[in-house]
Chains A and B, each alone.
Chain A
Amino acid sequence: MVEKALFAIFLEGVFIKNFLIIQFLGLCSFVGVTKDVKSAAGMSGAVIFVMAMAATASYLLYTYILVPTGMTFLDLISFIVVIAALVQLVEFVVRKNIPSLYRSLGIYLPLITTNCAVLGVVLLNVQSEYNFMQSVVFGIAAGVGYTIVMLMMASIRERSSFVSIPSSIRGLPQAFLIATMLSLAFVNYFWVIPI
């Protein structure tokens, strides 16, 4: 495994391997929570937070517990449990210390446990054999990429909700057609950057 620079990993996580529109991870929230910018921002904030923490916790768990005991076949089950526990923990801490943040993020936190983007980050980190810093940077980068696309999508949908289109395209089909355009832009612009 060639040692990759942290900045290269960051750019890769944000643009080239963008979780939502290149890798198709976390699509439920992509079409479900992008009806207005405010909720998209709330969801994104929660995702960045949980992704960075999940990347950290799962790296420690995998390297210091699962590998030495030879139980790497349990990785899937243990990662799921760690993510669920982490989401609960974040919910408790935020509710106790920052009630205003809880009011805006609260309802999105439970959704994250079954968001495949978070488990995706963790599994991709293991698959790419990243070290500690690389794992954490990739986790943050994936969250930032997620946020950028969520905000773009929500802004476009908010503005295009007044255009006149056939009623059978309104709603989900329209969202997917917008996603097609976004994805085309990402594929064409960012696959040409040599990293």
Chain B
Amino acid sequence: MNVLAEFIRGITRDNPILGLVLGLCPALAVTTSVENAIGMAAGTTFVLVCSNVFISAMRKQIPSAVRLPIFIIIIATFVSIVRMIMEAYMPSMYAALGVFIPLIVVNCIIIGRAEAYANKNAIFPSFIDGLGISAGFLLVLMLIGGIRELLGTGQIVTFGYTMLTLPVNPAVTTMILPPGAFLTIGILMAIVNYQRAKKRARGG
């Protein structure tokens, strides 16, 4: 098994947001800034990797008739851990992400990967799959967060460091309000569709 190819697959073909179209709620709700996007992706990464490894390790013991409730309980346990850690050590981040940290539990990405991948594969591939999917999630969240923060506030400030400043401040406040999220993801998906159609036309 090619480890690198498995990892890259999570970013490109199986990208959770733009490829599989799963887990849209956090991708739109918390991406008002790059900082929030990173925090959200970090929480999701922990839960996804842990649940993938755990479910893969237990896959021979879990009876297939009741596998979904068992997956949900396992995932909910890891989400509770993330929630407590964030509340204790990163209270400002926890407040900014609000209800979306506990809502990782119903994020379709995690249960989707548990059902489609971890339940059928060995521990190490499931671990790599979790990492790859998480990396894809992180990149798309940062992209959306970056576009919205840059256009909405004119600069990107992450953990106290100014990353990027626009020479003229457009300050389209709408971009950091809910409509901006729908607009950004709509345009991103249109671009992805366009690229795919072009690739298909070339016979790739």
A176 and B182 in contact (CB under 8 A), knowing A23-B29, A77-B77?
yes
Which secondary structure dominates chain B's binding surface?
helix
Q: Is the CB of B76 within 8 A of A180?
A: no
Is B160 among interface residues, defined by CB-CB distance under 8 A? no
Contact of A73 among B80, B99, B185 (CB under 8 A): B80
Q: A119, B103: Cβ atoms under 8 Å?
A: yes
B4 CB → nearest A CB, Å = 30
**A168→B103 contact, CB < 8 A:** no
B183 within 8 A of A: yes
Q: Are A184 and B174 in contact (CB under 8 A)?
A: yes
Residues of A within 8 A of B22 (CB): 28
A110's nearest neighbour on chain B, judged by CB, is B68
Query: Is there contact, CB below 8 Å, between B177 and A26?
Result: no
A103 to chain B minimum Cβ distance, whole angstroms, is: 24
**In the assembled complex, which residues on chain A have CB atoms less than 8 Å from the CB atom of B85?**
none
Most chain-B Cβ atoms within 10 A of its Cβ — which of A21, A73, A176?
Answer: A176
Q: A24-B29, A76-B102, A124-B99 are in contact. Are A173 and B190 (CB under 8 A)?
A: yes
Docked complex Cα distance between A132 and B196 (Å) = 51
**Which range contains the number of B residues in contact with the other chain?**
35 or more
Shortest distance between the CB of B51 and any CB in chain A (Å) = 14
Partner of A119, one of B24, B105, B178: B105
For residue A57, CB closer than 8 A to chain B, the reply is no
Whether the pair A176, B189 counts as a contact (CB closer than 8 A) is yes
Any A CB within 8 A of the CB of B48: no
Residue A86, interface by CB 8 Å: no
Of all chain B residues, the one with the shortest Cβ separation from A23 is: B29
A106 CB–B CB distance under 8 Å? no
Does A176 lie within 8 Å of B25, measured CB to CB? no
Residues of B within 8 A of A (CB): 21-22, 24-26, 28-29, 69, 72-73, 76-77, 79-80, 83-84, 98-99, 102-103, 105-108, 111, 174, 177-179, 181-183, 185-187, 189-191, 193-194, 197
On A, residues with C-beta under 8 Å from B are: 21-28, 31, 73-74, 76-77, 80-81, 84, 114-116, 119-120, 123-124, 127, 166-169, 171-177, 179-181, 183-184, 186-187
6 of the cross-chain contacts (CB-CB < 8 Å) are A23-B29, A26-B25, A76-B102, A176-B182, A176-B186, A180-B182
